[in-house]
Copies of this chain bind each other. A is one copy, B any other.
Amino acid sequence: MEFKVSKKDTYTLIEFNIDKPITPDVLQDIKPPEVDTTKGVIISGRGPIWLYGYLIHHYHPALWVATFDPRLGGGVVVMSHTPEVSEGDVIK
């Protein structure tokens, strides 16, 4: 599994790429990229819900966490520590 990190003004975009089928045991030694926790994080990629679940929990210290939804064309905020961004907001 590879991660691509793109630093934006208000968030870090974390894109994962899975080149072969993965099983849950990958979660035992996965090393997600470090981020600036004073900003948000948007997670993007085609993968199982449990991988997203792991990454969402991993980035819990960030200001907010969103998951990219291709149909909505943006990141949907699923948790936030700041009043400026709310759960359900779509970050384009």
Residues on A lying within 8 angstroms of B by beta carbon are 24-28, 48-50, 52-54, 56-57, 60, 65-67, 69, 72, 76-79, 86-90
* Known contacts A24-B88, A52-B52; A57/B79 CB under 8 A: yes
Q: Which residue of B lies closest to A52 (CB)?
A: B49
- Taking CB atoms, residues of chain B closer than 8 Å to A87 are 27-28, 54
Stoichiometry, as copies per complex, reads 2
Contact in complex: B49, A67 (CB < 8 Å): yes
7 contacting pairs across A/B (C-beta < 8 A): A27-B78, A50-B69, A52-B52, A53-B67, A56-B56, A56-B78, A57-B79
Cβ distance A28 to chain B, nearest Cβ, rounded Å: 5
Separation of A89 and B52 alpha carbons in the complex (Å): 15
Q: Which residue of B lies closest to A50 (CB)?
A: B76
9 smallest beta-carbon distances between A and B, as pairs: A53-B78, A27-B88, A50-B76, A57-B79, A27-B87, A24-B88, A24-B76, A54-B78, A49-B67
